[in-house]
Structure 1
Amino acid sequence: MTGSSPRRGRQRRHLAPFGTGRDVVSVGLESSALHDAYHTLLTMRWRAFFLLVFLGYVAANGLFALGYWALGDGIENAEPGSFRDAFFFSVQTLATIGYGKMAPRTLGANLLVALEALLGMVGLAVTTGLVFARFSRPTARVLFSKVAVVGPYEGVPSLMFRMANARSSQIVEARLKLTLIRNEITREGRPVRRLHDLALVRSEHAAFALTWTAVHPITPGSPLAGAEPEALREAMADLVVSLTGIDEGLSQSVHARHGYRSDDIRWGSRFADILTPGAERSFVDYDRFHDVEPLDAAPLAPPEPRSVRNP
């Protein structure tokens, strides 16, 4: 209920995901990563993944080394009471190396070796599977412009942003969707977070290879008709871009998503030209991909807004 304090319990904070307009705290959901460990291990950064694997490896060997050390003189050819020898014996056992210098000599040590060998095989299989899944997971490398612009296109004020395929392979059957999300007031006077699909001049691309400038004409029927920068800012407006297609090299579906906040829209501007045509070949200058320029003339007057209840 509006204005009421959230109940106590498990909470999870999201850092202003696009479409929410602000930071969000989820209440009542399980926040532990252990409840979705596979997804967490699959989507975390490579640096964090390898650091977690390394720490797990050291911790496992350390725990088994404590077990061997507690058994006393259970390892043949190891210095009695040496935690160092126990640790490196654990490393050899976990990796099934078995140099033959150190070996278990008591029943307790042999049982601990059997348990560690089993866990070592399981751990190796799980880690190998995770590494393979992370490498084989299809992803798109799409570069989105840092800002969107509003300027004339074919004589109509239009919202524009551009994208580039950062891979050498093409994205075939690419489909693009643009959604405006903002705060509005219903006829009953209740605040809602409403989604509006914005029509694009071209929403499909047969073979997305280099760059693609998406254009939404701000016609009288557009949700952005008559919108002003300050009004969009007060409504916490977000633009969410979703691109899907098939990677030509992998023959698998890939997707990319990006978002623009109201402060990321440059009104009365245009993107800098990045294509330089030549007699034999053309050049695309990606160093200017994010550059915008002010319009030489004043932007066209926005059309009259359609009937929309804004906050």
Structure 2
Amino acid sequence: MPCGQVCSSGMAAPNPQEDTGIDVVNAPQHVWSDLYHELLRAPWWLTLLAISGMVLAVNLVFAIVYLLTGGVANARPGSFADAFFFSVQTLGTAGYGWMYPQSRAANLAVTAESIASIVVVALATGIVFTKFSIPVARLEFARNAVIYLQDGVRTLAIRLANRRGNFIVEAQVRLTFIKAETTIEGIFFYRLYDLPLVRDRSSAVGRSWLILHRIEKGSPFEKLTPESIRTEDIELGIAINGIDGTTHQTLHARHRYLPEDFRFGERFADMLSAKPDGRLQLDYAKLHDTVPAAY
């Protein structure tokens, strides 16, 4: 959903690769001017494909140069294959074998390609190392948000699991309710409500975390019913920040729930159970499971 006039303090900006449910038109495209960040956001296969394409393009350009200038010993005259593989050897600093430069023009081209090799290797190495070092939160959110009675109060609950076996320390979570509204002047916008939580921070998140919002007077969920929520233009966003207990890097994860993702009169099934030997067992397969509950 788009941010309206009052969403400057709301959720983090959505990833452009995510489906936000809005078709954006006439937005300026800066792929080439922001190629570094595009490659960092891209999936690994696309990043590696782009790097391979860059290396291949440089080799092709210099292969044409060698083909036009000549001066490569033992290369067959007019052989693009020989010129290309000589370019590969030069760019990769593999060392010359049967073919080597013997003319001034060829040596000048080799010098230029050696400089290009330094730039290409530096760029590729920087992108790969940076992409490896970006912290990734292995947090999985339950597919649905549930609303049920807890201690006599209607409560909204969201569950998440830490798929990585370590701790997320100094974790903070934020729930933002987004609703389409119209002012008395007829101006349409999306209003953001920060929801108070029973506990919005944890010193260490291990395996799972149940996030609770008590639906009391003034809550935007106060008047929502299983029927009315289907007709509302709403969204619930959750964002969690913390520090990876292993790398000590800052982590960020987020998720959103649309009207069809809410379950009324259900609660999450217990993931924790006792084994016959007295040890506790946490079943990740039950992360998304719900059971009927009072509402």
Please give the TM-score of this superposition, normalised by the length of structure 1: 0.85
CA RMSD of aligned residues (A): 1.7
After TM superposition, list the pairs within 5 Å mapping 1:48-197 onto structure 2.
48-71=46-69, 73-197=70-194
Q: What is the percent sequence identity of the aligned residues?
A: 41
The alpha-carbon deviation at position 14 of structure 1 amounts to 7.3
Which residue of structure 1 aligns with residue 209 of structure 2? 212
Which residue of structure 2 aligns with residue 225 of structure 1? 222
The amino acid across from 1:248 in the alignment is: G
The alpha-carbon deviation at position 293 of structure 1 amounts to 2.1
Q: Distance between the aligned counterparts of 2:187 and 2:116, measured in 1?
A: 57
Q: Is the 8 A contact 1:14 1:23 kept in 2?
A: no
After TM superposition, list the pairs within 5 Å mapping 1:243-282 onto structure 2.
243-278=240-275, 279-282=277-280
Which residue of structure 1 aligns with residue 39 of structure 2? 41
Q: Distance between the aligned counterparts of 1:32 and 1:159, measured in 2?
A: 40
Q: 1:287 to 1:15 in 2, by over 3 A?
A: closer
Q: Distance between the aligned counterparts of 1:16 and 1:51, measured in 2?
A: 23
The amino acid across from 1:40 in the alignment is: E
Q: Is the 8 A contact 1:159 1:216 kept in 2?
A: yes
The alpha-carbon deviation at position 15 of structure 1 amounts to 5.8
Q: Distance between the aligned counterparts of 1:32 and 1:189, measured in 2?
A: 35
Q: Is the 8 A contact 1:149 1:161 kept in 2?
A: yes
Q: Distance between the aligned counterparts of 2:112 and 2:45, measured in 1?
A: 30
The alpha-carbon deviation at position 110 of structure 1 amounts to 1.3
Q: Distance between the aligned counterparts of 1:24 and 1:280, measured in 2?
A: 54
Q: Distance between the aligned counterparts of 2:162 and 2:102, measured in 1?
A: 61
Which residue of structure 2 aligns with residue 24 of structure 1? 23
Q: Deviations over 1:244-275 (max 9, x none)?
A: 01111111211111111111111111111111
Which residue of structure 2 aligns with residue 307 of structure 1? none
Q: Is the 8 A contact 2:55 2:120 kept in 1?
A: no
Which residue of structure 2 aligns with residue 202 of structure 1? 199
The amino acid across from 2:37 in the alignment is: H
List runs of 5+ in structure 2 lacking aligned partners.
1-15
Residue 290 of structure 2 is aligned to residue 289 of structure 1: no
The alpha-carbon deviation at position 230 of structure 1 amounts to 4.4
Q: Is the 8 A contact 1:151 1:270 kept in 2?
A: yes
Q: Distance between the aligned counterparts of 2:220 and 2:156, measured in 1?
A: 12
Q: Is the 8 A contact 1:198 1:222 kept in 2?
A: yes
Q: Deviations over 1:253-305 (max 9, x none)?
A: 1111111111111111111111102453200111111112233x5x2xxxxxx
The alpha-carbon deviation at position 23 of structure 1 amounts to 1.1
Q: 1:190 to 1:215 in 2, by over 3 A?
A: same
- Give the 3-state SS of the residue equivalent to 1:25 in structure 2: coil
Q: Distance between the aligned counterparts of 1:135 and 1:224, measured in 2?
A: 41
Q: Deviations over 1:66-87 (max 9, x none)?
A: 111122x421011111111101
- Give the 3-state SS of the residue equivalent to 2:193 in structure 1: strand
Q: Is the 8 A contact 1:15 1:24 kept in 2?
A: no
Q: Is the 8 A contact 2:232 2:259 kept in 1?
A: no
Q: 1:163 to 1:14 in 2, by over 3 A?
A: closer
List runs of 5+ in structure 1 lacking aligned partners.
1-12, 300-311
The amino acid across from 2:263 in the alignment is: R
Q: Distance between the aligned counterparts of 1:172 and 1:186, measured in 2?
A: 42
Residue-pair matches, total: 279
- Give the 3-state SS of the residue equivalent to 2:39 in structure 1: helix
The amino acid across from 1:108 in the alignment is: A
- Give the 3-state SS of the residue equivalent to 1:47 in structure 2: helix
The alpha-carbon deviation at position 24 of structure 1 amounts to 3.4
Q: Is the 8 A contact 1:14 1:25 kept in 2?
A: no
